[in-house]
Every structure is written in structure tokens, then in C-alpha cells.
Amino acid sequence: MDEFTGKLAVITGGASGVGCSLAFALAGAGARILVADVDAKALAATRDALEAAGATAHARACDVTDPSSLGDLAAFAFDTLGGVQLVFANAGVASGEAGPLWGYADNDWKWCFEVNFWGVVNTINAFMPRLTEQGEESHLVITGSANGAFLVYPDQPIYSAAKAAVQVVAEALFHQTSAPGNPVQVHALFPGPHVVETGIFDSDRVRPERFAKPSSAPDTGIHSAEDLRRLMEAFGTTLETTHPDEVAQTALDGIRRGRFWILPLTPATESQIKARTDAILARTDPPVPTIG
Ligand SMILES: NC(=O)c1ccc[n+]([C@@H]2O[C@H](COP(=O)([O-])OP(=O)(O)OC[C@H]3O[C@@H](n4cnc5c(N)ncnc54)[C@H](O)[C@@H]3O)[C@@H](O)[C@H]2O)c1
């Protein structure tokens, strides 16, 4: 796909960060936008800002942990808006991990898996049948993370485990849709190459009561990219960051080129992935990666 004009793009988690930047980049390339999110206020603000920028934009409340909510979103996109050419399974959270993993609250595991893993599965289940049946070229872009897909950081096992599972689903779906004539192209998007400055450090702002963190759970102390920067500086390292607009442009470029791997990496991260792979093949202990 090298022409986005008039195409409908559905973006889960479209009210902030990477999803919001995707919405603006796609609108700038002429696409019509349907942003979907649990954050009603940010969702309305995003739709208004898109319209103010001259885009054709729609907003729907959607909780990706709820299959029926995604069913409603797909019905609106296909039946009311007339078809879908781009779907971004992008919504994601970080539930906050502090200390040894055997002490984590069940709700931290459950919330992160419900949004990051089940959210992707629910999005696939809601959109793939209709995209397939539609029969025209379309793209399903799954937002994963190198953190989990390729690297295992010691201090984020919940997030990493969920993103590792997402990678398996994305890759299996790629294989299952790669038969000639299949209209849906699957892409795996890895925001980066550095930590992306988004709202993910403050995911608790949209954390529902049913997955509440127990008051006894320790706090990570990191609620913004700035907090992470300060922590790393205290350990003598600097944090480099990427703006989500850059991620969005990388994503559009990857879709235009028909790439499965939309994977910008720093040389340092590439070396760490290689070191991990080498250790697996050599059966030596896994090396500890650092944020690069
Ligand atoms: N920020 C990074 O460095 C980074 C790196 C790699 C991958 N990612 C991934 O990028 C994606 C986007 O995250 P971001 O960094 O832009 O964070 P963000 O917090 O800025 O945006 C995430 C959006 O998802 C929405 N959301 C949360 N729960 C939801 C639910 N149940 N249903 C619908 N929407 C929901 C939030 O309201 C928010 O608008 C996530 O999948 C994240 O894991 C981010």
C-alpha cells in the first residue's frame, strides 16, 4: 500500500502516544481515522484536534479487554463507515513492576495481559474475519515491543512476558495470512529505536477498578520518561528517547514497503539481541540487557 488517501484506519489506544501520532500521520497522508480508546476525555480531544487539522476523524469508546466492545467497533467501522483498510492493534499499558517477581500482585499480571495480550487477540478476532471477507488489500499492524519479543529485562517481567506472547501471535498470524491471494498483510511494529516518550509510564491513569493495584504493592517510582531519565542519571547513564511522531512515520514507511518487521533498532540494541541469540545457541547464561 503506497497510497493512504481515503482509506479508513482504525487505531486502538489512539488517544495518546504512538496511537495518537499514528492518527495524525495517517490523516496527514489522506486517510480517514477512527480512534478507539478507554480514555474518553483524551479520545474526544484527539478527535477534535484531528478535525481541527482538517482530517476526517471519528472516535469510539472501546475497551480492548472486552471482545464485545471490539465487536461494536468493527461493526461501526465496516457497516457505518463502509470498510476498513488499516487496523492498528496498538493499545497497551505498563502495570508497574517493583522488586522480585514472586511478590507481584496478581492484578498487575492480569491487567497487563488483558490489555497487551488479550487486547491484541480480541482485535484480531473482531477484525480479521471482516478484513478477509472484504477481499481488498488491508493491513493489520500489531504493536509489540523488543522488550519481550527479543530481550528480557530483569525488572519488567510482566510487560515482557505479555509482549513475548504478542510476538508469537503476530508471527503466527503472518504465516497464516501469507498464502497468495490473502488480502490482509500483517505487520509487527516495534516503537523505537529508543524509549518512546508517551503516556505509558503513567498507565495507571486508565487502570480500571477491577484490576486495582493493592495499596501494599511497592511503587516503581517511575511515572514518566523524566522519572526514568533521572533514575538512569543517578546510575551514571543517559536516557535517549524517540518522539512518537517518528514512530508513526516509520510505521507508514513500513506499510508502504510491505514489511512485516517494522523494527527500528539502535546498534546497541542489535548487539544485545545478537548476544542473547548467541547465548541461546551456545547454551550459556542469558546476558543482561540494558535500555538502549
Ligand atoms: N513507549 C514506548 O517506549 C513503547 C515501546 C515499545 C512498545 N510500546 C507499545 O506502544 C503501544 C502504545 O503505547 P504508548 O507508549 O503510546 O502509551 P500511551 O499510554 O501513550 O498510549 C496507550 C493508549 O492505550 C489506551 N488504553 C489503555 N488501556 C486500554 C484499553 N483497555 N482499551 C483501549 N485502549 C486502552 C490508553 O488510554 C492510551 O491512550 C503499546 O502497545 C505499548 O506497549 C511503547
56 band by pLDDT with thresholds 50, 70 and 90? very high
Please report which helix (H) or strand (E) contains residue 42, including its range.
helix 40-52
**Does the residue 218 lie in any domain?**
yes
Q: Is the CB of 16 under 6 A from ligand 1?
A: yes
The number of folded domains in the chain is 1
Task: Enumerate residues 6+ apart whose C-beta is below 8 A from 176.
Answer: none
**Does the residue 272 lie in any domain?**
no
Q: Is the CB of 264 under 6 A from ligand 1?
A: no
Which residue, by CA, sits nearest to atom 40 of ligand 1?
92
In which domain, by residue range, is 183 found?
A: 8-225+240-266
Handedness of CA 264, 23, 165, 211 (dihedral sign): positive
Per-residue pLDDT at 291:
78
Measured from the Cβ of residue 211, the count of other Cβ atoms closer than 10 Å reads: 19
pLDDT tens figures, 159-212: 999 999 999 999 999 999 999 999 999 999 999 999 999 999 999 999 999 999
Phi, psi of 229 (to 5 degrees): -60, -45
* CB contact at 8 A, 72 and 62: yes
Please report which helix (H) or strand (E) contains residue 19, including its range.
helix 17-28
* Position in ligand 1 atom list of the atom nearest CA 208: 31
Residue 85: give its domain's CATH number.
3.40.50.720
pLDDT tens figures, 197-242: 999 999 999 999 999 999 999 889 999 999 999 999 998 999 999 9
* CB contact at 8 A, 250 and 265: no
Per-residue pLDDT at 2:
67
**Does the residue 46 lie in any domain?**
yes
**Does the residue 75 lie in any domain?**
yes
**Does the residue 257 lie in any domain?**
yes
pLDDT over 90 (residue 292)? no
Mean per-residue pLDDT, 75-99 = 97
Measured from the Cβ of residue 25, the count of other Cβ atoms closer than 10 Å reads: 22
Cell numbers for 65, please give them. Answer: 479487554
**Does the residue 64 lie in any domain?**
yes
Q: Is the CB of 160 under 6 A from ligand 1?
A: no
Mean per-residue pLDDT, 120-138 = 98
138 band by pLDDT with thresholds 50, 70 and 90? very high
54 band by pLDDT with thresholds 50, 70 and 90? very high
